[in-house]
Amino acid sequence: MGLSVARVPALLLLCTAAAGCGAASSAGSHEGPPPTVAPPLAAGVASPPPAEVPATPPPSMAVKEPLRPLSGIKPIGKPGHWRVTVYYTLVESFHHGPAKAVKGCAEFHCSHGKAALGSYPKDFLDSVQIEGSGRITSGPQRGRYLNWSHIVGWWLDDTTRDSAGKPLRPFGTAAADRDVLARGHRFVITDCGKDDDGHTIDAKVCTRLRSAEWTVTDLFRPGYGGEHHADLYIGEETGPNFAKSPWYTELSGATLYTR
């Protein structure tokens, strides 16, 4: 998806421990400072296919049949009135350009630290400040994550985190407005609607989003989410220019069901 959708600068807003917001959102629209470390969640669903979707994706990326409204589940709000955005984790190796040094916290339990955290491509850092987290692929911190929050600043971690301190789960973690979907609430997408330009959502992307069951672990800061807005975590970017791939999308007029 392009950058035609307005974004709210993360520097001006609150955000989660590491969770960001993607298309048409920003890391700052989620709320909550980093809590104490929570036990890791079970491994989530595999990350999305690459920006250039292969004709036959590997088994770990294979999609399931779309979910349909079934007995025992009901629509959330008015069908066809949801706006759904996505966010993801940056990967350093897909970004290039002048290196910029970063200072912050060398561990999770810290705020606005002054430790040297390394130097990274400027476009990587700029995107991490929007999405909330990035995996480091070079230097002494290789394999760790550089995370960003307006409340905390920069910090190094062994994972990405939601506002409860738990690792983000690709195709499982979601954020929503607390007045509509409370923390812990689960939902499915039954209709993707259109994108923000009125075009049909890429078929593979829509099928993958519909095949997942999402759990609200983050809440929008009041005034930034909206009554019918959900934000979905889709894992790591899988190639350069990921933000221009079909996976970086916005669903307009989507329908959500809950169990």
| Least trusted range by pLDDT, from 1-5, 67-71, 132-136 | 1-5
Q: What is the pLDDT of residue 242?
A: 96
Nearest C-alpha neighbor of 229 from the set 29, 80, 28, 84: 84
Q: What is the pLDDT of residue 1?
A: 40
pLDDT above 50: residue 179: yes
Q: Are strands 82-91 and 250-258 parallel, antiparallel or unpaired?
A: antiparallel
Q: From residue 77, how far is each of 60, 211, 254 by CA, in Å? A: 33, 20, 11
Q: Are strands 74-75 and 250-258 parallel, antiparallel or unpaired?
A: antiparallel
Q: What is the pLDDT of residue 223?
A: 54
Residue 55's pLDDT band, with cuts at 50, 70 and 90, is very low
Q: For 186-219, how does the pLDDT look when each residue is reduced to its tens digit (9 = 90+)?
A: 999 999 999 989 999 999 999 999 999 999 998 8
Residue 29's pLDDT band, with cuts at 50, 70 and 90, is low
Q: What is the pLDDT of residue 225?
A: 56
Separation between Cα atoms, residue 176 and residue 199, nearest integer Å: 24
Q: What is the pLDDT of residue 40?
A: 30
Q: Give the 3-state secondary structure of the chain.
A: CCCCCCCCCHHHCCCCCCCCCCCCCCHHHECCCCCCCCCCCCCCCCCCCCCCCCCCCCHHHCCCCCCCCCCCCEECCCCCCEEEEEEEEEEHHHCCCCEEEEEEECCCCCCCCCEEEEEEEHHHHHHHHHHCEEECCCCCCCCCEEEEECCCEEEEECCCCCCCCCCCCCCCEEEECCCCCCCCCEEEEEECCECCCCCECCHHHHHHHHHCCEEEEEEECCCCCCCCEEEEEEEECCCCCHHHCCCCCEEEEEEEEEC
